[in-house]
A and B are shown apart, each in its own frame.
Chain A
């Protein structure tokens, strides 16, 4: 593996034999490697796992957060075979979907470099053992790293977005799938909601014509500024809902990319964090109650607080305690709330599932008021 800064990292290959390239980011969660690998928000990224022992309990249906692993490649210190019966080795799981991996790397050294330099592009090459430490291979990998396309250049969201479907029963929730993590759907249906999943390309009209009683804009990969089409749709949805005013509201929940898209929809700008937030231990303070929660996070971009238009009726509802970045927006009068972190966890704490209770309470409330 090589980084665009010219450093190279040798290790043993696992998973698929194909090469990979893209942005290199690291995740500090100590469990949930399958949830991470199958989180579509990682589409276009090589993920370094800081916890050294990976694969211990295998992979299994229940831990998949989407239909496939999305990481471009997985970088680990040590790959382990599963110790659980009726589970599939991580190695086989990745191979099945054509995802490569590298193990035996001093991942801590790698992470320290990414922390210092900020997110870098990288490339992974697989060569025969005979070629180990070969300078030629290293040069090739470095070149590939430098040539790899920036996040913006690929239709990451469209790639990740799934087909439309409908699950559960209860109040009608329209979920715009910009790369949704399955646990968001589970959290909604488990609380008694009908969830209709719309592909990211669905137009605002399509969504509204189903006359949803609540709308969720999910998480997803990449730079919100790179998907004007979808951002525009979100803006239309937001507009339509805002027009109905407080009398006949349709609550909106924005998660991660969804939060950023809504941010942009109200005229705020978004920008890159030095090396993103990827982990299950980020402290976030609710600015209204002052209480602090531990959150699961996975994003490169943030909504710029200073750029939120004063007339927008939105205010910052939560902030990250580590770097002060915006963790949530809320509308002053309407039930529109957004979260930069992942209230569905998976991987990570379940402490923030009340976000879904709150959302569905808003929905039921709105339904009731409409009679």
Chain B
């Protein structure tokens, strides 16, 4: 039997790593059953697309056309659509409706089409539930405010307005009065491209409860677990703090909802997993009447694996996706062995003997300007999970795992500090809906003496949770604040989950002191197993969490072993790519006979799948917990065994910045860094140190310097010439990079930088040129550059947001050689043992030293080289990078495997990857890495591209030549314009000349051109007719209407210089994003799009990844 599996495509808000976890589990699960698997996904940064996971792997755009061609080629017997999130489901429906499945006799496995349609179509779904006698909130789809008001008169208030087809919840929101409703409904209808909104009874404040249920072909149903949202209805489950199992539900309530969930999965006829969301009345006194119904509503059903099912799997140890896949091909639950106990089967319900807390991770540190309120639209990019034996400890551990800079338990926003009284604090900070920092607001309110009742009245958060939070605050205030710890006090503090760092702060000591005391007093965490059965059966799973109890179940592993530090929650700038590397590293260690020990706190990922590593510690990635893990593995337990215990290598180069930042601490806590030394890492990371290092080697860097004051900065700017790129000397959340074109920009940046408390500011000449990037692996002597990627967008657009082409298309041979030479030079000098990522700028001829006056070298922090080389190094990352999985897949060079081997003592030569020229030959292919954004979900975020990264995910387009590869990447990224319609072009004056080619291109392609006066004049001057529209700032919003009309194929809009408010541009860009119209803010991207469109007549190929690879690469790689 042959089964086609659809992946979920790029990582976007609401669809993250959980589907890579589900997909790769499913592939393995099916192969166990001897089933041949064919996988298609457009996202190269996934484990599921690694060689060996599926039998045949396609990295191609997820469209009906592509899927049909794959089906024709592979002729699978079945299609498994329930593992690729919403993308997978939608595509399956499209394929079915297009008759493709029928035509080629492909069976839909798992969830029947009818179930998908019923669950997706709100009306059909309501009918189904009403038929089952399940309560659904009254709702009505309206096209006018009057209809809305009429509905309100019928069902009463409060109501929630949920616009159709506008992402970002534009115009959505809650209404408690006629006025509010009139306003919101009006806005919503206006915002909705189809002019309709859904008005629904508001259940804000009700308990939000989820159930993960499974059903097999024999109609056996089980629930894997239920979860209670700490944030009641009104905050998306994806943005809620979630606890498993439920804490405040009586057995009656638990069973009532459980039974309802089972009735629903039966009615839908699902064979596999399903997620059911309920709103439960926050009834305070359980009714005495045995038969009285407790009021509840069914909110939503997801007939597939989901973020919640990934969480449930990690929370219980029950591998939902693995089991769902087996069920889909006809296995019964009781025929599937329980992978954890090996003795029992999958037909049971996990029993937890711990508490699980999940906290979302939001991207607002990257988008300081964004609307931070939480509502019915998910905004989080990732999440962390913590397991412990008490809620207090679990929630504090989750806090530690979040890695929001300096935002620990005791953090307070500056604006709160001067509000000392509880009343005013509640009024100002806890009365108007949830925000991303609500947990800290709760702590702050309780700290100010607000009562649980007060807080409950404002937030409707259940008293049980509030009491727990209050008990944390009270213990901090009464027991720890200013006290010198005693053994018993410290033990109690640790049992409540207080971090050494917080205890130290409260007690006025250093974290190291607290750890020393714990050592003296023998207060150490023990590790308990996640075994699905509350210890009723002996289990063999290597899945552990730390807690302060008496019995330790994780004896130090025997034999050679190594620690891999994961990358924590998924956030912008640190995505699934790093998890992908960690998992590959674990696999390599297994091959090398070394036991891999994974530490990570992210429940969505493959790395926290307990059978990926020899052992998994589900714990925070901070010094305290790594130290404890090392100690538990036998490191430094007293001088004696320290001698005895061999040092444990710790891999910090795969877990992104999270792991790398721990590097310098590893030695001090008894670990030994595997590969590139802590010092070499520091050298590359600390920009100042690196500059000196680079200068010494004569490695060119963008001229510039470090400024403490505006005056100084202006001096440097004058020397190197505008524009300059400014950034804090150490990048902290939000206060990122900007390009300053003149003294005004510079001064503005400086003012805000100082406000943000950023000390030193780096001022670099902003170089005009193409950006290229390499990923290399080195053993300190030999270095292999796996490939050189060229960015489509010129330098100034963050590498993570750029389209990257492999191999570089426009590098002259000597430029390519220079890039390789520089890479080898840096790798050898640092030295690097393992992975290395370098970003270069190849300056354009016409811009060489542009507008930079001659200035005496001594007046410089760094010399400004005028003559060749014109290739500058802008950043060196001595670690795996975002592009490693991409390059590994297109070149076949197993970068991670080589890095691991080398770190453990091997060499490139020994591995057979040392090359004279130091560059892996590119095969007969072209691959593009295209960024994908989640802007639609983040209101108020400007979408233009700059030096600050904004994308959440990536896709790959691969083919034999450039044009089709680019076209596929655009299609996969959802940026391909419709073949006809109008193109709106409004560009800043500085770009007017460059836009000509683009204008001509779109004209040639037969699009109607729309522009505002300035650009219109330009277009006319080219003898091309154009539809001129008024400027928004002059009160004419025709341009927005055109963008939203549904006939708009693309928007080309470049922001006016610097950060000067560019309101019109902003509105146009937002309108485009929300109407799902491709919005091109870089002329380079625009030009590429035009090129691709012109060539898209050229047909593109659809082939398994392996086929694209040049024989040479394939041979050497495997």
Contact = CB atoms under 8 A, between A and B. Distances in A.
Interface string A181-217: 0000010001000000000000000000000000000
A283 B334 contact: yes
A281 B343 CA distance: 15
A31 B254 contact: yes
Interface in B1030-1086: none
Contact of A84 (B255, B284, B348, B355): B284
Contacts of B254: 30-32
B534 A111 contact: yes
B551 interface: yes
Contacts of A280: 349, 351
Interface stretch (B375-383, B410-418, B461-469): B461-469
B347 A81 contact: no
B1054 to A, nearest CB: 56
Interface stretch (A50-58, A232-240, A254-262): A50-58
A52 B352 CA distance: 9
B250 A57 contact: yes
Contact of B551 (A61, A106, A345): A106
Given A35-B251, A63-B252, A282 B464 contact: no
A80 interface: yes
Interface stretch (A137-145, A263-271, A306-314, A347-355): A347-355
Contacts, number: 168
Interface in B512-548: 528, 533-538
Given A28-B351, A86-B284, A108-B551, A349 B258 contact: yes
Interface stretch (B216-224, B854-862, B929-937): B216-224
Nearest to A190: B291
Given A50-B535, A56-B247, A282-B348, A80 B549 contact: no
Interface stretch (A222-230, A284-292, A333-341): A284-292
Contacts of B245: 30-31, 51
A320 B751 CA distance: 72
Contact of B218 (A26, A80, A290, A345): A290
A279 B349 CA distance: 10
Contacts of A291: 218-220
Nearest to B391: A53
A281 B350 contact: yes
Interface in B448-478: 462-464, 467
B109 to A, nearest CB: 21
Contact of A31 (B249, B291, B390): B249
Interface string A31-67: 1100100000000000000111100110011110000
Contacts of A348: 251, 255
A158 interface: no
A115 B534 contact: no
A283 B348 contact: yes
Interface residues of A, number: 55
A154 to B, nearest CB: 27
Given A56-B248, A291-B220, A349-B255, A81 B467 contact: yes
Contacts of A35: 251
A284 to B, nearest CB: 9
Given A83-B467, A285-B334, A351-B259, A62 B290 contact: yes
Contacts of A32: 250-251, 254
Given A62-B286, A283-B334, A51 B348 contact: no
Contacts of B352: 30, 51
A78 B549 contact: no
Nearest to B463: A83
Contacts of B882: none
A369 interface: no
A323 B335 CA distance: 15
A350 to B, nearest CB: 5
B285 interface: yes
Contacts of A30: 245, 254, 351-352
A165 interface: no
B1053 to A, nearest CB: 53
Interface string B663-690: 0000000000000000000000000000
A108 B348 contact: no
B286 A84 contact: yes
Contacts of B221: 351
A292 B463 contact: no
B334 to A, nearest CB: 5
B121 to A, nearest CB: 29
12 contacts: A28-B536, A56-B464, A62-B290, A78-B390, A84-B286, A108-B528, A111-B535, A111-B536, A279-B536, A280-B351, A281-B351, A282-B348
Given A61-B288, A294-B347, 9 more contacts: A50-B536, A57-B464, A62-B289, A85-B285, A283-B347, A321-B348, A345-B255, A347-B255, A350-B258
